[in-house]
Amino acid sequence: MSNTPEPRWLDEEEDFTWRAVWSLMTWLPVKLEAQLREDHGLSLYEYYALSQISEAPNRAIRLSELAGITNMTLSHLSRVISRMMKAGWVERVVDPNDGRYTLGQLTDAGWDKVVEMAPGHVEAVRHAIFDQLTDEQIHALGEASARVAEAVSPHGKVTGRPGS
């Protein structure tokens, strides 16, 4: 006789929810990346890295912190930053507060690129998500997504919560 607990199988509603979440995780990034690649020749990861640097104080962030926020390995992020440096959008600079760290610093050209790309990206996000939902559904999706993201992310938090 085994002491292995019986699996907690998903009920019908949970199975539907899981399949919907899986489809969302699969297809939403594909849709958003297609818009960025078509309009600007950049990947979703590249856009996300640029946008996170643009939102950081003084438009600079430790690359190790950026890797965590964007869920990129340091080697992947290094390749992304190198491509953005080649385009003139980002510089690597020594962290003035702790010389052991390197910052990704947005250049003026990088800021201009973010300003150029943001409206189209926001419209793609709005069309894919918010135009499909009522205000109540938007709130519920945000709260539910934050709970799951906080449970699975290594830093246990979601940025940008209204009122925080």
**Predicted confidence (pLDDT) per residue in 78-95, tens digit:** 999 999 999 999 999 999
Give yes or no for residue 164 having a pLDDT over 80: no
Tens digits of per-residue pLDDT, 100-133?
A: 999 999 999 999 999 999 999 999 999 999 999 9
Enumerate the H helices of the chain as residue ranges.
12-40, 44-55, 63-70, 74-86, 108-128, 135-152
Q: How many domains does the chain have?
A: 1
Domain that holds residue 55: 35-137
Secondary structure class of 61 (helix, strand, coil): strand
For residue 64, give the CATH number of its domain. Answer: 1.10.10.10
**What pLDDT score does 157 carry?**
72
Q: Give SS3 for 106.
A: strand
Residue 95 falls inside a structural domain: yes
**Residue listed under structure tokens 């709970």:** 147
Of the pLDDT bands very low, low, confident and very high (cuts 50, 70, 90), residue 3 is confident
